[in-house]
């Protein structure tokens, strides 16, 4: 059985936003003005009318929406024995596909990170996250950079096996995961686990961070 920290898996809800635009045409109004009196003139021949080509039809732009990422169904959850407490982690790829899309879910309420490949959980760890004054952002993110020997340019602290998530420095990286500790917004995992995750993850892989959203067997990861 899993301890209270591991009561479920994090899932962020996918929210699709579709925008639409509408155009309008301005209408020019003619104004009648008085005509001054002039001397009579001889009538002149009426000029022949010149046909004017009709304006070519303008194509109406079509709004195109980006399809949401394909849902991944949870097919396996690792069976973790004993209390799942700070510093603990597991990694088990036996029976899981060797290839396929990888998704990382993090639930701050459960303090748990899970790694899924093709719907099979292959890794899990208890995490550290941001302090109240520097909270970890929620939402669906992507890995944009990998650096095994990264050092923070803001705090000068080592961030081994760093997986960058945002442009302002939020990442997943190796940490000394102890109860009561917190980060400047990053997700801290045991360094040995971070090494495993670094080797499995690729640029562009999805990372879903929630706070109290849980997912069980057969549930769909759609964010």
DSSP one-letter code for 130: B
Which residue is catalytic, options 86, 150, 173, 184?
A: 173
Q: How are beta strands 102-107 and 206-210 bridged, if at all?
A: parallel
With 0-12 CB in 10 A as exposed, 13-18 as middle and 19+ as buried, what is 118? middle
DSSP one-letter code for 193: H
d(CA 209, CA 211): 7
86 classed as catalytic:
no
Q: How are beta strands 214-215 and 120-126 bridged, if at all?
A: unpaired
Phi first, then psi: what are they for 213, rounded to 5°?
A: -95, 125
| Kind and range of the H or E run holding 214 | strand 214-215
Active site residues: 173, 186
């Amino acid at each position: 059985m899993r301890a209270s920290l591991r009561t479920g898996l994090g899932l962020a809800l996918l929210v699709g936003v579709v925008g639409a635009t509408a155009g309008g045409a301005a209408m020019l109004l003619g104004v009648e003005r008085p005509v001054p009196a002039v001397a009579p003139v001889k009538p002149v021949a009426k000029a022949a009318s010149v046909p004017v080509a009709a304006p070519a039809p303008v194509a109406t732009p079509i709004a195109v929406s980006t399809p949401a990422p394909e849902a991944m169904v949870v097919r396996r959850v690792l069976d973790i024995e004993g209390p799942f407490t700070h510093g603990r982690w597991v990694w088990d790829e036996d029976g899981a596909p060797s290839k396929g899309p990888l998704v990382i879910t993090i639930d701050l309420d459960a303090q748990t990170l899970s790694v899924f490949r093709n719907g099979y959980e292959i890794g899990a760890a208890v995490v550290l996250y941001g302090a109240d004054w520097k909270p970890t952002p929620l939402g669906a993110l992507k890995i944009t950079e990998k650096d095994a020997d990264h050092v923070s340019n803001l705090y000068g602290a080592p961030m081994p096996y760093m997986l960058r998530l945002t442009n302002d420095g939020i990442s997943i990286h190796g940490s000394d995961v102890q109860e009561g500790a917190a980060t400047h917004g990053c997700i801290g995992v045991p360094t040995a686990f971070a090494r495993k995750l670094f080797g499995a993850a690729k640029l562009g892989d999805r990372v879903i961070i929630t706070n109290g959203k849980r997912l069980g067997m057969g549930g769909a990861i759609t964010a």
